Chains A and B, each alone.
Chain A
Amino acid sequence: MYCINQFKGIHFIEINADKKQLPLLIVLHGFPDNAFNLVSLVEKYHDDFHIVAPFMPGTLNNENIDQKQLQDKRIVHDLNNLMSFVDQEASKDIYLLGHDLGCFASVNLYYHLRTRVKGIIHLNGLGLQQFYTRKKSFTQWIKSSYVLIAQFSIVRTLVAKIFPTFFLKLIYRLGQVPSHHELHQYDQKLLNPIFIYSTLLRTMKHFFGRNLLKVRAPTLFLWGTQDRFLNAPSVDEVEFFYDQAEVRIIPGGHWVHLSNPLHTQKIINKKLSTWLRANSQEQLFGESL
């Protein structure tokens, strides 16, 4: 059972809200998904983090959503507001954990919070600008062809309203979500934010000629080797966008945390512990460490 709060129309799971000294762990789920799966992945960290896991609009209660809510800038704006709400003193260290589209939001949030972000974990996902640089990758075009098809409103209606069960099954099968997993039991509401593909594609045109914004926070890319939607990042690609990033590829699909939960958990636990330890030492002894 999770405690679900609401702030300005955004639903979110919050754990350890009363423990003011704990760093924030922001958990951002992908599409089509909700916040429950990723939160269950970091449950072990109840004692170490103040966990906040927002739901994408429409995915919790099947409420009607305004398409503007899915715009890139609006998402970050809403997340920023949410951060101000859960950490009113704006003093906590922040860690970001995202999957799939959640990683787009993660990276955008980083650009707003910068030095407060002490670590980022991407699960089979990446920043939008990084995704944009794959425009010359043939295999990525093949894997992402659905993004182009989803630009047509009739397709979106077909997927989200007429045959949602069929498409959810197909997506989860390709993403290697285990057939017994409870994600299969959620209904079409998970497909509500499908319009996000249109807003993201529109956002991407702004990357043309734009300066590179390098991420300085330590970052971990954890990737399921059988991802049918996104290519795993290469070292060159990662070094281009990140100052200190590490890539780990493990057996699993696009939903690596569901197809290979134990290994995913082990790596995340280790990484978060390392970052926590390093940051607490830094606070104790200064940045020279």
Chain B
Amino acid sequence: MHNINIYDETYLEKRLHVQKVHQWDFNCDINWNLTVDTNKYLLPLDQSNIIFPGASAEQRLAISQFMGLIVASTISQLEMVAIKLKGPTWDKPLKKNPINPEFRDLGEQFYLEEEKHSRAFDKYIDKFASALDIESEQLRNFLPSANKTLIEKLYSLNAELGGSALWWLVAAVEEESLLFYNLIHNSRHDIDPLYYQIHRCHYEEESRHASYAPMMLEFHYQFSNKLQKNIFSKVEFLMAEVLNMTWTFNQLIKLKSLKSLKAKHPFFDVMYSTVDLLKGQSPLQVLHQLFTSAPYISSNLHLSAHQHVQEMLVRYGAFKMPLPETKKVVLTCTA
């Protein structure tokens, strides 16, 4: 369990000091002169090709790159949502219950880092698009976007009502991003160097500020009234789970429209050809695999599977969705 003692100003001050001293610089600590190596994987994939059985080496590379871009865009977009909802989800409750200046300063640092991470992944997507010689916007059309979506509005509404659903999501996604880095790190020699570098920097700061979202959940719990404590805090994780699933499936459906870009670049052509690999499977089978064994996607759908999230669910007596368990798969960057 993270240390979530929000009242311990000495601990918070030390945390802030560590974060400030070790924070990385956007321009200096990432070598932006590196070009994207389009022959390299972005994420290791399962050897058994559970979702895309029979995928060729070329298709595996495209899937890996596409998944890598989805992960980059997801992180960037969710961090952007957190920043956009800073007012109702952080500033307002902290102004109402100003627990201590150190907790606030730690939050400012958290948002500073999140904004930097979002920018870094965003820039990588631009660089990838430029490596493919296509407009960045064309690529983004197929990548997750949370801008002005209904989901963003629902999180905002929840926060206005004094809820903390977004913090459940942030806590889970942050924990997930640490797991993703470990997977990438194990295959680092086969991963595009720039992509790896960004994930490494991201990992460093995420692991340092990983306790902030749990702290915000604790803050909400400590300062919520009885109604919020007994009802809202129990179902907010469920809400985050449902919204996250809706969002994930919405993003996956976007793959269908790859057809329109088929002719633009071989990358899209190869990627679109993977849709054929799904045809031998029933939709239910695909859905089941997405929930249980699809690398990255099933992990994203199982927010409650992460260790710290589980501990917090127990601590706050929050409900979670009954989902089939995920299977462990071996991930590699080879065909």
List residues of A whose CB falls within 8 A of some B CB. Answer: 225, 232-236, 238, 246-251, 263, 267
Contact = CB atoms under 8 A, between A and B. Distances in A.
Most buried by B among A234, A238, A249, A263: A249
A249 B99 contact: yes
Nearest to A238: B98
Contacts, number: 33
Contact of B95 (A235, A246, A249, A263): A235
Contact of B98 (A234, A263, A267): A234
B95 A234 contact: yes
Contact of A232 (B7, B9, B97): B97
Contacts of A251: 7
A267 B95 contact: no
A-B residue pairs, 6 tightest by C-beta: A247-B98, A235-B95, A248-B100, A249-B99, A235-B98, A234-B96
A119 to B, nearest CB: 16
A247 B101 CA distance: 8
Interface string B221-233: 0110000000000
Nearest to A139: B225
Interface string B95-132: 11111110000000000000000000000000000000
Most buried by A among B7, B94, B101: B7
24 contacts: A225-B222, A225-B223, A232-B97, A234-B95, A234-B96, A234-B98, A235-B94, A235-B96, A235-B98, A236-B95, A246-B101, A247-B100, A248-B9, A248-B99, A248-B100, A248-B101, A249-B7, A249-B97, A249-B100, A250-B7, A250-B100, A251-B7, A263-B7, A267-B9
A129 B253 CA distance: 59
A230 to B, nearest CB: 14
A174 to B, nearest CB: 17
Contacts of A250: 7, 100
A249 B98 contact: yes
Most buried by A among B94, B96, B222: B96
A154 to B, nearest CB: 33
Most buried by B among A233, A238, A248: A248
Contacts of A236: 95
B96 to A, nearest CB: 5
Given A248-B99, A249-B7, A250-B100, 20 more contacts: A225-B223, A232-B98, A233-B98, A234-B95, A234-B96, A234-B97, A234-B98, A235-B94, A235-B95, A235-B98, A236-B95, A238-B98, A247-B98, A247-B100, A248-B9, A248-B100, A249-B97, A249-B99, A251-B7, A263-B7
Nearest to B102: A248
A123 to B, nearest CB: 15
B113 to A, nearest CB: 23
Contacts of A249: 7, 97-100
A238 B94 CA distance: 13
A235 to B, nearest CB: 4
Interface in B206-224: 222-223
Contacts of B97: 232, 234, 249
A234 B93 CA distance: 9
A169 B99 CA distance: 29
A233 B9 CA distance: 19
Most buried by A among B7, B98, B100: B98
A246 B101 CA distance: 7
A241 to B, nearest CB: 14
B117 to A, nearest CB: 27
A236 B101 CA distance: 14
Nearest to A239: B95
A263 B98 CA distance: 17
A142 to B, nearest CB: 12
Contacts of B101: 246, 248
Contacts of A238: 98
A267 to B, nearest CB: 7
B99 to A, nearest CB: 5
Contacts of A225: 222-223
Nearest to A260: B7
A263 B8 CA distance: 9
A249 B97 CA distance: 8
Interface string B63-99: 0000000000000000000000000000000111111
Interface in B1-19: 7, 9
A267 B96 CA distance: 21
A282 to B, nearest CB: 22
Interface string B295-308: 00000000000000
A246 B103 CA distance: 13
B147 to A, nearest CB: 30
Nearest to A252: B7
Interface in B149-171: none
